[in-house]
Structure 1
Amino acid sequence: MTIDALIFDFDGLLMDTETTLLESWRHEWRQHGLELTEQGFFADHGGDVNEQRYAALAAAVGAGYDRAASHARRTAYRLTLNQKLEPAPGIRQWFAEAAELGLRLAVASSSHENHVRGLLERAGLAADIDVLACGNEVAAHKPDPAVYLLALARLGTERAVAFEDTPHGVAAAQAAGLPCVAIPNPYVPRSRFPAADLILPSAAAARLSEVLSGLPGRTTPRP
């Protein structure tokens, strides 16, 4: 398969925002003398589930819980964590190699565009991205393929490879007809990715050209 583009998920794949999300919620639970466990925290689909998380915290705190103050405190704390984030290991090198190979880059994320664009700009990655497709622009979230289909339409090609960190992300990419490389985030066991075309521990594990040549059908950049 000859390809024109690479499409990346954002949260947990390009930057470890999954950890800052979890830590912001743990921080907020501790303000009430409570501990939040990781079990069941991450949803098996894309999109915002914070309202359910606030409801769970409210139930745990009981009477007197101030949702507005809780939200302001948590989001401010997460912002301080996100300001320290760097791209995941190997991502800068992959982006540089993609430019050498003449491949266009896209991001297909279930998160809101403001979140994605802001962190890409802060990390110095935004200039490398040709296309953004985000959750606020589609009616359904991963594992629905809508955001991938939007990215492909904006790229003007169907010849692309996707990169994901969750099983529902892999399902969305493959439902859009794309081969998908999985780089599981720290909160998802590798055993949950049987459908992925290739699984890597990180983007630093191999050169991009080696990854593409290792996919079924020997995926190669267009000459």
Structure 2
Amino acid sequence: MPVSPSVSRVDGSGPEAVIFDFDGLLMDTESTSLRSWQFEWRQWDLELDATAFFVNHGGDITEDRYAQLATAVGDRFDRSLSHDRRVCYRDNLHESLDLAEGIRAWLEQAAESGRRLAVASSSPRDWLIRHLGRAEVLDQFEVLAGGDEVGGHKPAPDVYELALRRLGLPPTSAVAVEDTAHGVDAAHAAGLACIAIPNPFVRPEAVEHAELVLPSAAEVSLERALVGARA
């Protein structure tokens, strides 16, 4: 589906809704994920190749990562022990994890301007609820669409299409915010204009096909970003 050049609210002042990705965008759970896997590899006296960790994927590849570790460890690998230990370490990291820089201000600005908010993520819905609740912003999002609710993961448009259906809006009435190339591709495939804020493991040139690329949400106000995405 082509991206519409016309994105507007009912009152003509811009998009009615903003649909955010979650991991690496609203919160830097990409860094905590990497750190948890590095920790777990070291428990087996091994070093994870971090350069190949963030491949351009969509959906949950946790089992692929355990399979890679199991191959490296050999017969002594204990999947249950490894998982429990890694998740405990990761969850401890998450206790101090807040929203990404500038995001809380964007959410406040969206509320002030009457814009509706949604999340469209490849992660499961309960993951979104847990983290947004801990950050005390869950009630600011009218719609959550998780990867466990759709058949195809990003770069397929399924999760964005689900978010749009739940909002009851056409893609011309919303703008997506993403942090990866496959996320931008998913938004475009759903007919959405997209703002890209690449996470620390994504090169800015990888998301240059977005309508607007920013180093962080703190760079400009939400309103200016939305104007830039429609330019």
Query: Structure 1-normalised TM-score?
Result: 0.95
SS at match of 2:177: strand
Task: Kindly indicate whether residue 123 of structure 2 is the aligned counterpart of residue 107 of structure 1.
Answer: no
Q: Which amino acid aligns with 2:105?
A: Q
Q: Distance in 1 between matches of 2:33 and 2:70?
A: 18
Q: Which amino acid aligns with 2:191?
A: G
Give the structure 2 partner of residue 164 of structure 1: 178
Kept in 1, the 8 Å contact 2:211–2:228? The answer is no
Match for residue 39 of structure 1 among 51, 54, 69: 51
Give the structure 2 partner of residue 138 of structure 1: 150
Q: Which amino acid aligns with 1:205?
A: E
Q: Distance in 2 between matches of 1:201 and 1:62?
A: 41
Structure-to-structure mapping, 1:48-197, within 5 angstroms: 48-158=60-170, 159-197=173-211
Q: Distance in 1 between matches of 2:196 and 2:59?
A: 19
Deviations 1:5-37 (A, max 9, x none): 000000000000000111000000000111112
Q: Which amino acid aligns with 1:19?
A: S
1:215 Cα shift? Answer: 2.1
Q: Distance in 2 between matches of 1:39 and 1:22?
A: 11
1:91 Cα shift? Answer: 0.6
Deviations 1:169-213 (A, max 9, x none): 000001000000000000011111131100000000001111111
**Structure 2 unpaired stretches of 5+:** 1-6, 9-14
Aligned residues: 217
Q: Distance in 1 between matches of 2:98 and 2:83?
A: 25
SS at match of 2:23: coil
**Structure 1 unpaired stretches of 5+:** 218-223
Kept in 2, the 8 Å contact 1:13–1:183? The answer is yes
SS at match of 1:180: strand
Show structure 1 runs of 4+ deviating over 3 A: none
Deviations 1:65-104 (A, max 9, x none): 1111001101111111111100001111001110111100
Deviations 1:108-158 (A, max 9, x none): 000011111100000011010000000000001000000000000000112
Deviations 1:40-89 (A, max 9, x none): 21231221111111111111111211111001101111111111100001
Q: Which amino acid aligns with 1:174?
A: H
Query: Structure 2-normalised TM-score?
Result: 0.92
Q: In angstroms, what is the RMSD of aligned CA positions?
A: 0.9
Q: Which amino acid aligns with 2:176?
A: A
SS at match of 1:215: helix
Q: Distance in 1 between matches of 2:80 and 2:229?
A: 48
State the percentage of identical aligned residues. 55
